[in-house]
Amino acid sequence: QRAGPESVVLAVDGQTMVVAERSGRVAVLDSVSGELLWSVQSTVRLISDLDIGGGVVAIGGQMEGGDGVTPPT
């Protein structure tokens, strides 16, 4: 099943791009070559925000079991 724009969150830092499905699947790619650098199934099951900087990926949302931080709306 393909993810549509409403179910994907993106962040870019220079030559690195992070693509996350709101359901928790995260992939980090080289934004120039498109090469997959790494991917993971996050414990955050409802991703609402995403950022990358200094080699660190930050994911905001609701974690398994209902714990976690949800940004204000």
CB 55 within 8 A of CB 18: no
Comparison of pLDDT for 58 and 6, the residue scoring more? 58
Phi, psi of 31 (to 5 degrees): -75, -15
CA distance linking residue 32 with residue 12, whole number of Å:
11
Q: Give 52's strand partners.
A: 57
Q: Quick count: other Cβ atoms within 10 Å of Cβ 47?
A: 21
Each residue's pLDDT tens digit, 19-73: 999 888 999 999 999 999 999 999 888 898 999 998 899 999 888 765 444 444 4
